[in-house]
Structure 1
């Protein structure tokens, strides 16, 4: 469980940084992450989205 939390916290921070710096859509960022890491499953995606909603809710409304 701790590994999942650590992974999703790091991923959420990385995604929030991408959204802030590049204004990329969350969908494109998640797709890119999945392409780079085949082990990154939908379970991580769900946990990551929950982390983003909790720690960076403004990232959820970023536009493409």
Structure 2
């Protein structure tokens, strides 16, 4: 069964854990960007596995 991943959506409709599971099942490689107001987060996945994450919040950076 093929998992269809939309190019955009709302986490209110598809919770983040479910999105990650669907991306894993689809072996998705690429970037997932989440944003709300002035907060942005980006996750890079390789074949469904997160390999990098970043946030524009300084409090979420290592070493701060």
Alignment TM-score, normalising by the size of structure 2 = 0.35
Greater per-residue strand proportion:
2
- Structure showing greater radius of gyration is 2
Higher RCO (CA-CA < 8 Å; seq separation 6+): 1
Larger helix fraction of residues: 1
Taking structure 1 as the reference length, what is the TM-score of the superposition? 0.35
